[in-house]
Structure 1
Amino acid sequence: MTSIRSLEDLVLEHGVLSLIRLWDSALVSKTRASVNYHYGFHGLAFDVIGTLAFGRGFDVLAQGNTRIIDSVHKMMRLIVMRGQIPAIRRMRWLVKDMADAHDFVEFTANQAIDNRKKFVREKGGPLRIDILQKLLDARDPETGSGIDRQSVVSEIALLLVAGTDTTSNTMSWTLMNLMHYPDVYQRLRDDVRREFPNTSVPIHYEEARARLPYLTAVINECMRLNPTVSGYLPRRVPTDENGATVCGYFIPAKSAEICLGFAACHRNSKTWTNPLKFDPERFMGPDSDNNLKNVLAFSSGARMCIGRNLAWVELYTTLANILRTYNFKLPDNAPYGPHRLCNGVPEEIPSITFTTTGPKNPRSDCWIEIERAY
């Protein structure tokens, strides 16, 4: 977190402040405008990762350049297909569009490395110490050797995959839930504006985390109800003769793998009261610490998400600043909202899972009306 905090100004500038400039441009000469929050959050996440891991933003928000987003999504489909059907590696012609996208991402990563090394060589040092620079400067404590180029390329490409859809989808689900539960939205909005009345300076991560406990509860409840990684995550059983015993169930050593479904765990009625309801109060009372242990959004233990600290900084700064800056309202013709109930709770917009879980039809379901609050 110390390293990420040192980059917070970059996260703010290329993240929420850039998003606010985009949404403000939609309000020129009018008091209210409709914006697609899913694509706004998506562009924000890619621009932040581009800035920190590739040395420059991808201009998704400023110029609407979505080539890198499209390429990453195609690359992910190719990686999954290769995992299921290894022979596809020898049949590029069959998946040419996805293979070209994979090549573009690797080319962009190599270009970022070359540009940074050239800058350091010509200027005598880096302009800033970001994630890209940390990877280039890293040295093995025993041998003194650095990370080879292909590994650096793989690392920063992985950041694009793991640090974009995950964070942006969480923001989308959070705003959806706030609109579906007006009382929660009203309380959180009032908290933010009461604690941070000075609109001339952006709200930073540490102060938001310290002074907005209800925002923390809202984010935790969103990650419980709508985990952006919600598919079946495989784990191998220990190969020794003892196998493994989980909750009293013995799993033989020769079992290939077991899978954990976060979404199922997070909606288990044996663990959660009224599990389908969005209720941040779960993380505000005496049971909050125990409940938090059962939120698996970032996984746990040695395999815990390595990018969770960056995600937290983006989530706090983005949500706090937009809630202070804008009043939000669902369009009158919104297909989903508090007016559409299922089992006594607002029906969620449809989702789809492919490595991450996000809105299935964002072009139609993720519109919101905004107006400046000041």
Structure 2
Amino acid sequence: MSGDLVLVTGGTGFIGAHCIAQLFHAGYRVRTTVRSLEREADVRAMLKVAGCEPGAELSFVAADLMADAGWAEATAGCTYVLHVASPFPLGVPKHEDDLIVPAREGALRVLRASRDAGVKRVVLTSSFAAIGYGHKPQDAPFDETVWTDVDGGGVSAYAKSKTLAERAAWNFIAREGGDLELSVVNPVGVFGPALGPDFSTSIVLVERLMNGDVPGLPRISFGAVDVRDVVDLHLRAMVHPAAKGERFLAVAGEFLSFIEIARILKHHMGGAAKRVPLRQLPDWMVRVVALLDPSVKLILGELGKKKGASNAKARRVLGWTPLTNEESIVATAESLVRLGLLKDSAKKA
């Protein structure tokens, strides 16, 4: 309950809004950046769903990752900065630089402004995408010592953007960071309670399954973690002395396949999961679907691959204890039903 001022970049985002709510519950003062101040009402609506109504205690600054304006004002007087904002599209961008440049340059803008404002520590939201791609298949789980090989072939523009942005952040700290400290959190797919229609790409997967928008299930496995645990890890990395200069993988447990997620939804969600398919799609069919649906192109390189990641470091160093995969997937689905964000609820409305 320190009352320190914390900046959260990207308050309109899924993780950003949860960060703001948890910070207020923990007794911090919060400022957040939005690309347009017209989005303030959207942020406050999400916070209300999260059980947080900060009123005038929450302040807003307009700032864009691609422009210098606003960042000095945003970081002024802050003790900590959670740099959460970064582009994550549903489809494949026309050019990879559409993702890489905003992610890298945005991180550097935030770090530069934080250094100049005398911020103590920045926690950067990176991704497992900066760790687990461009490698030959391996049996051992990935950990924080590994970096995605952006030249390894088949690496998506998103994975490149997160890798190059995080690399640039560490290089900045080493060369010109001054007294500024950096910690990094690398989440896998982020699930958990939606607070409104602005939610993560991972939650779109559950939404599409629940709506019956996919004909079947591709042979894909990926890590999962609850957004509340991702934010908890950010807050621990923000203040713990041992987190300085460290990166932390945020993963709940074993990687999940689409069919395992579908079975969890069927088991726990009753009639709300009636449209969830249980049929496994052959790889060739997924490739055909990708010709029609750009979002499916993002997963083609992962068909049939088995991966794992370790949360041992976050547990050992920061005392982090995440919810289970099952708890997180169920919380995701329950929130979509509760907020009326599925097809059936839209018709009833």
User: Is the TM value for this pair above 0.5?
Assistant: no
- The one of the two structures with greater contact order (alpha-carbon pairs below 8 A, sep at least 6) is 1
Query: TM-score when scaled to structure 1?
Result: 0.27
| Bigger Rg, structure 1 or 2 | 1
More helix by share: 1
Query: TM-score when scaled to structure 2?
Result: 0.28
